[in-house]
């Protein structure tokens, strides 16, 4: 099935940098109208200016009460949403600060599910639409010190699977996006949030585990044109995740090096 994107509107959260910014650029280049949102107005304003009349922005925090409803209402006729906003924490579970843990799930899971649910209600009525949730390759397995982040992405994947079945007869597509390590500010901000100067994961990760955000953005646009359940940007990692699921000891041996 092929979908024409020309003139269709997509809402992208967490769009002030990284994957969100790259996806907005790719979507505008594909003929879509983008509504981007994040908390940093200066960043959003510059991105919207760079992308021109087909990109507008709404400043706000997706975890605040009623913001997601207002976001969708002010965005007009929305065809797709990409729930991309999220962050990480870099702490062992035995040392995990519960306030940080709760905050991570509020952003990575609760806010994303709320946006997806609100959007799906209208999409199901109109019998059209596409919901994309930014998961991770880490939704399939875990690494030391990132258990909270991995768990949040696993939760998103499970929720997306349920939504996909629930919306099948309403012609609404549901997709999870599974990036590998992406060269963004994510790792530095995760380390800072956890009281660390640097991210050990980013330092120790091999080059083949890292990619530019533009690769993810291109894959998202391809999926919007030809919908599918999951978007992967690395075939080796997709195969590795399958092996890790089948052989947990292998996963432990390989991933413990990132501690």
What integer pLDDT is reported at residue 1 of this predicted model? 77
Between CA 68 and CA 46 the distance in angstroms is 22
- Quick count: other Cβ atoms within 10 Å of Cβ 218? 17
pLDDT (tens place) for every residue of the chain, 259 residues total: 799 999 999 999 999 999 999 999 999 999 999 999 999 999 999 999 999 999 999 999 999 999 999 999 999 999 999 999 999 888 889 988 999 999 999 999 999 999 999 999 999 999 999 999 999 999 999 888 889 999 999 999 999 999 999 999 999 999 999 998 766 666 566 656 656 666 555 555 556 677 999 999 999 999 999 999 999 999 988 998 899 888 888 888 887 766 5
Q: In sequence order, what are the residues at sequence separation of 6 or more whose Cβ sits closer than 8 angstroms to the Cβ of residue 150?
A: 136, 138, 139, 141, 142, 143
Give me the pLDDT at residue 35, please. 98
256 DSSP assignment: G
pLDDT of residue 76: 95
pLDDT at 202 (0 to 100): 54
Do residues 62 and 85 lie in contact, with contact meaning Cβ atoms separated by under 8 Å?
yes
Where in the chain are the domains? Answer: 9-258
pLDDT score for 57: 98
What's the fold here for domain 9-258?
A: Rossmann fold (3.40.50)
Give the residue among 52, 19, 60 at the shortest CA–CA distance from 34: 52
pLDDT for position 213: 93
pLDDT at 255: 79
Q: Identify the CA nearest to 58 among candidates 113, 109, 68.
A: 68
């Amino acid at each position: 099935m092929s979908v024409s994107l020309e003139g269709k509107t997509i809402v992208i959260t967490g769009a002030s940098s990284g994957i969100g910014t790259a996806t907005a650029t790719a979507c505008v280049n594909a003929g879509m109208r983008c509504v981007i949102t994040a908390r940093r107005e200066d960043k959003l304003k510059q991105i919207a200016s760079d992308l021109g009349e087909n990109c507008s922005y709404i400043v706000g925090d997706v975890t605040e009460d009623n913001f997601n409803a207002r976001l969708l209402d002010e965005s007009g006729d929305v065809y797709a949403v990409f729930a991309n906003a999220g962050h990480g924490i870099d702490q062992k579970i035995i040392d995990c600060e519960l306030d940080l843990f709760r905050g991570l799930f509020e952003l990575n899971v609760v806010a994303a599910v709320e946006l997806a649910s609100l959007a799906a209600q209208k999409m199901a009525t109109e019998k059209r639409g596409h919901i994309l949730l930014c998961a991770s390759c880490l939704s399939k397995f875990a690494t030391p010190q990132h258990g909270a982040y991995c768990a949040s992405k696993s939760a998103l994947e499970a929720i997306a699977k349920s939504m996909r079945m629930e919306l099948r007869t309403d012609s609404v597509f549901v997709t999870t996006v599974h990036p590998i390590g992406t060269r963004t500010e994510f790792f530095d901000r995760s380390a800072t949030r956890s009281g660390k100067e640097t991210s050990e994961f980013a330092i120790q990760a091999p080059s083949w585990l890292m990619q530019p955000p533009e690769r993810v953005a291109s894959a998202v646009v391809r999926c919007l044109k030809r919908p599918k359940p999951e978007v992967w940007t690395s075939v080796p990692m997709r195969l590795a995740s399958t092996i890790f699921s089948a052989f947990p000891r292998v996963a432990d041996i390989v991933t413990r090096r990132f501690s």
